[in-house]
Structure 1
Amino acid sequence: MLAATSKGDAEPAILYLADGTVFYGRACGATGTATGEVCFNTSLEGYFEVLTDPSYAGQIVTMTYPQIGNYGVDVDDAQGALGPTGSDASDHPRPALRALVVHDMCRTPSNWRSTVSLPDYLAQQGVVAIEGLDTRSLVQHLREHGAMQGIVSTEIFELDELAARLAAAPALVGTNLVKTVSAAVRRAYTAADLPEGRRFAQLPVDGARFNVVVYDCGIKRGILEGLVRAGCDLTVVPWDTPADEVLAMGPDGGMPDGVFLSNGPGDPDAVEATYTQVQSLLGRVPVFGICLGHQMISLAAGAQMEKLKYGHRGGNQPVMNLISRRVEITAQNHGFGLLFPSLGELVPELSGGVEAHPSDGDLRFWVERGVAPVVSNERFGRIRLTHVNLNDGTAEGIQLLDVPAFSVQYHPEASPGPTDSHYLFTAFTRLMGGDADYLDIDIAKDRLAGWQFATE
């Protein structure tokens, strides 16, 4: 019956989880076998940006939306790093994720920008994919039992062999995946590198006002574009570049105006070569970190991380900004989070008179009180909690009050996702410009900056 439809003669495929749970389906990408941590993404669109996000290295991604691929693929939307040279050959690198899981894969896309169907792209890139299984049941299982190791195969169906292969696969915790996705050499990224295809909707970029060094831990193109559109010329460096070299990368060998710490995959504790450099940078130059970069700042301050049960992945995560009291709908992709109390003891006079951290660790305690609490950190002085996830009460952002630095756990670039958090790029430029109230921004107004709209 399938042979008479757009599905064609699909080969069988299997997903086997570490706890022995099995899902059967059909192949819809490359043939082969792949192991990784099985997680899920709740975005309703933007599957190609998700697929090409380097932060998914080491993972098998399940899309919760039922049909994926209906608008095809335009490779110009790829979010992977530019590669070590920035040459044409490395413009669209292979996706970093291990495999893709969907309920229904569309093989006949409808979109004027599409150049290839998603299953054909997956096959070209060597990405194993499976469709036809009950993704609702799979996601419910992961929510109840947590993200776990799994194996997807189109060639092995003996459960004992799948279990043996999975047992021999490396675990996500303790593995440094950043070094597998970071560029190998330094490169520049300026307004001249912005994509031509979006100029019909975006205003021209004014001249750059700041020189920023970007640690590439698996950075997305959308983040580079967001920084450039905010007025920055960028020097992108490998994940383990020494701090002393970074501090000499400004104009004429002087200090740069700021340092940006990018997103990236996997266990933050395994990326010691980055957060030890951040220790040397904090207090000497303005620093802004997102996602893994947020975790690098936190670890540099001596904080502890926790592995979240199933992480935050999708473009619909609600976050309370404790300073503005505005709720942002954010795009996120991470499986680890900051334990805010590990940064230090509360400063009661700066924390609404509260003397002790909430015993259950739920930071929505501060949302209910309308307080942005401050702790005393042994290394960098006062640190304020600025953002809280409203779904689970985890930390989503911090601000160092005695050194020029701040960070958020989510992505402000909207590739894919909402534009609520665009103001963070503006905040970084204000920090570099010496504005003490750099986070005091009209979020609603800022999110419209840089776009051109029809007047008739």
Structure 2
Amino acid sequence: MKRQLILEDGTILVGEGFGSDVNTIGEVVFNTGMTGYQEILSDPSYCGQLVTLTYPLVGNYGINRDDFESIQPAIKGFIVKEASDFPSNWRNQMSLDEYFRMKNIPGISGIDTRKLTRIIRNHGTLKGAFCNIDEDAKTVLETLRAKPLANDQVKQVSTVAPYASPGRGNRVVLVDFGMKHGILRELNKRDCDVVVVPYHFTAEQILQLSPDGVMLSNGPGDPKDVPEAKAMIAGLLGKVPVFGICLGHQLFALSCGANTEKMKFGHRGSNHPVKDLATGKVAITSQNHGYTVEGDSISGTRLEITHVALNDGTVEGLKHKDYPAFTVQFHPEASPGPEDTNGLFDRFLEMVDIYKQGGVLNNA
């Protein structure tokens, strides 16, 4: 069945539909990863987005039970050059088409994804709409331009109630702004006693759980759409070690007086080089974000930049000068992507141990 992708700038791309046949509207973004489509489609940070994969063949190893990053995908749709009809892998349980039908998610294949990616790189992210080929493009375009994008994505993907993932080690409260399962897996591997809490928990509610450390998860959307987090994070600093990832990094910066801004087309992929300013080492990282911490806004705060992106110089890591707290913009748990920076989880737990033993409250 033919399907249209209509962009708010008037561009119309025609392809073949797969998955659900529902019409949908979302923000069109692109990811440059060559593998890991199952982790990408189930990453809560893509909530409300139409995700374009630049690698031309998608679905060739199918869908399996082990590689999900959430139980319920939050993406609005998938845009690919070619969707494999006959996946082949020993773990394969169903095709991409079968999975999307089951989850009521639309997809479109046969699209010139190189052209679409160039449009986004030149003009920035755009709103887009999936619709059937027989629908009037002018009417769809008018609806698309008039409809604002959602700004409650974190509320949509965060857990509604706290729950435990028990362990015998350090107790870590993980604030769920749209948490990928990879973060929880890394804490579980280190035998942490994890309590996952909703995004709107206050500092007082978190401290009542007697945490040894607090993690701020990744998540979707504009960090300024989560004002509850600013007071919560500020209330934790100096009382418990803090480690933030992606959206957690941006929210940490806002709580400390820095600013964030929307990027032209963001960082989404598994090959982004990041430099550690303390060691000079460069790591290849997995990233998925459309907002960044404004570098010039760091002056006048008690924050210090620890990592920068080599491609565009944007801020990729921060630490607090007075308290045991640090954050990174990239994903040390990867999922998908390289695990060059996985040791940051160990660094966080070392900080927790030092703090528990009465160590100095700094992050030098």
For Structure 1 versus Structure 2, the TM-score category normalised by the shorter chain is over 0.9
Q: 1:401 Cα shift? A: 1.8
In structure 1, the residue matched to 2:98 is 120
Give the secondary-structure state (helix, strand or coil) at the position aligned to 2:327: strand
1:181-226, CA deviations, whole angstroms, 9 ceiling, x for partnerless residues? 00100101135xxxxxxxxxxxxxxxx4310101001101111011
In structure 2, the residue matched to 1:29 is 19
In structure 1, the residue matched to 2:344 is 424
In structure 2, the residue matched to 1:388 is 308
Whole-angstrom CA distance in 1 between matches of 2:135 and 2:286? 36
Q: 1:165 Cα shift? A: 2.1
Match of 1:333 among 288, 291, 298: 288
RMSD: 1.6
Residue segments in structure 2 that go unaligned for 5+ positions in a row: none
The runs of 4+ residues in structure 1 deviating greater than 2 Å are 154-157, 167-172, 435-440
Whole-angstrom CA distance in 2 between matches of 1:437 and 1:21? 54
Whole-angstrom CA distance in 2 between matches of 1:302 and 1:388? 19
Q: Does 1:177 align with 2:153?
A: yes
1:144-173, CA deviations, whole angstroms, 9 ceiling, x for partnerless residues? 11111111123653111211221232225x
Correspondences of 1:187-336 after superposition (within 5 Å) = 187-190=163-166, 208-250=168-210, 256-336=211-291
Give the secondary-structure state (helix, strand or coil) at the position aligned to 2:244: strand
Residue type matched to 2:295 in 1?
F
Give the secondary-structure state (helix, strand or coil) at the position aligned to 1:311: strand
Residue type matched to 1:20 in 2?
G
Whole-angstrom CA distance in 2 between matches of 1:290 and 1:162? 37
Correspondences of 1:2-81 after superposition (within 5 Å) = 11-80=1-70
Correspondences of 1:137-176 after superposition (within 5 Å) = 137-154=115-132, 157-171=135-149, 175-176=151-152
The alignment covers a number of residue pairs equal to 360
In structure 2, the residue matched to 1:364 is none
Decide whether aligned partners of structure 1 residues 118 and 439 sit closer, same or farther in structure 2, where only a CA change above 3 A counts.
farther
Decide whether aligned partners of structure 1 residues 226 and 334 sit closer, same or farther in structure 2, where only a CA change above 3 A counts.
same
Residue type matched to 1:53 in 2?
D
Whole-angstrom CA distance in 2 between matches of 1:62 and 1:148? 12
Correspondences of 1:343-382 after superposition (within 5 Å) = 343-345=298-300, 377=301, 382=302
Residue type matched to 1:44 in 2?
M
Give the secondary-structure state (helix, strand or coil) at the position aligned to 1:228: helix
Residue type matched to 2:160 in 1?
A
Whole-angstrom CA distance in 2 between matches of 1:105 and 1:65? 11
Whole-angstrom CA distance in 2 between matches of 1:131 and 1:98? 15
Give the secondary-structure state (helix, strand or coil) at the position aligned to 1:209: coil
Whole-angstrom CA distance in 1 between matches of 2:185 and 2:362? 21
Residue type matched to 1:405 in 2?
A
Residue type matched to 2:209 in 1?
M
In structure 2, the residue matched to 1:366 is none
Give the secondary-structure state (helix, strand or coil) at the position aligned to 1:75: coil
Give the secondary-structure state (helix, strand or coil) at the position aligned to 2:292: strand
Contact 1:190 1:234 in 2 (8 A): yes
In structure 2, the residue matched to 1:134 is 112
Whole-angstrom CA distance in 2 between matches of 1:75 and 1:402? 43
Q: 1:436 Cα shift? A: 7.0
Q: Does 1:409 align with 2:329?
A: yes
Whole-angstrom CA distance in 2 between matches of 1:438 and 1:410? 23
Decide whether aligned partners of structure 1 residues 124 and 344 sit closer, same or farther in structure 2, where only a CA change above 3 A counts.
same
Contact 1:301 1:343 in 2 (8 A): no
Residue type matched to 1:241 in 2?
F
Contact 2:298 2:304 in 1 (8 A): no
Give the secondary-structure state (helix, strand or coil) at the position aligned to 2:228: helix
Pick the structure with more strand per residue: 2
Residue type matched to 1:428 in 2?
F
In structure 2, the residue matched to 1:356 is none
Whole-angstrom CA distance in 1 between matches of 2:283 and 2:362? 18
Q: 1:78 Cα shift? A: 1.2
Identity among equivalent positions (%) equals 44
Q: 1:387 Cα shift? A: 0.5
Q: 1:438 Cα shift? A: 10
Whole-angstrom CA distance in 2 between matches of 1:125 and 1:425? 33
Give the secondary-structure state (helix, strand or coil) at the position aligned to 2:24: strand
Whole-angstrom CA distance in 1 between matches of 2:360 and 2:68? 36
Contact 1:33 1:155 in 2 (8 A): no
Decide whether aligned partners of structure 1 residues 315 and 439 sit closer, same or farther in structure 2, where only a CA change above 3 A counts.
farther
1:213-270, CA deviations, whole angstroms, 9 ceiling, x for partnerless residues? 01001101111011222341100000001110100102xxxxx101100000001100
Contact 1:427 1:438 in 2 (8 A): no
1:360-401, CA deviations, whole angstroms, 9 ceiling, x for partnerless residues? xxxxxxxxxxxxxxxxx2xxxx32111000111100000112
Please say which structure displays the higher CA radius of gyration. Answer: 1
